[in-house]
Amino acid sequence: MDNAESPVVLVTCSGLSNTGKCTTRAAVMLRQRNPELVDYHISTAGAESLAVPEGLDPGSLQVIVIDGCEDFCGRKKAELCGLVPACHVVATDCGVVKSGMDEPLFRDIEVVCRAAEREIRR
């Protein structure tokens, strides 16, 4: 199965910091702007583990992980439940500065959203 046929699943870290919040908001923005690109969004906020949407084979999914920082919470949880990331976007690698529990800036959400979109369209 090639990526064109694979359901796209976004996995976001959703930590408490501005970078974690930024990942979820970027995923929501991406789904609003391009509903045809993303089939599922799994937020790891507060989750010990992730559940793959019922009826889906984890191996058949194109998994895009959006993490807030180099802790890679989203990627680690995705891999623990058998999801293999096709690509990995990290907010801090996109220039977002981690600043505690501040609210994320719109420009930061935008830059992470665009980075994830570029990865999906590859």
Residue 1 lies in a domain: no
Q: Domain for residue 33, yes or no?
A: yes
In a 3-state reduction of DSSP, which class is residue 36?
A: coil
Residue 2 belongs to a domain: no
- Determine contact, residues 38/31, Cβ cutoff 8 Å: yes
Residue 104 lies in a domain: yes
For 16-75, how does the pLDDT look when each residue is reduced to its tens digit (9 = 90+)?
999 999 999 999 999 999 999 999 999 887 766 677 778 888 889 999 999 999 999 999
Q: Where are the alpha helices (DSSP H) in 1-122?
A: 18-33, 73-80, 106-121
Q: Classify residue 18: in a domain, yes or no.
A: yes
For strand 62-67 and strand 85-90, is the pairing parallel, antiparallel, or unpaired? parallel
| pLDDT band, residue 80 (cuts 50/70/90) | confident
Residue 77, token pair as written in the block: 């949880």
What's the number of domains the chain is made of? 1
Please give the residue range of the domain that contains residue 114: 8-121
Q: What is the mean pLDDT of the chain?
A: 91
Nearest to 112 by CA among 85, 83, 89: 89
Tell me what pLDDT residue 51 has: 77
- What local confidence, expressed as pLDDT, does residue 56 receive? 86
pTM for the model stands at 0.90
Residue 77 is assigned to a structural domain of this protein: yes
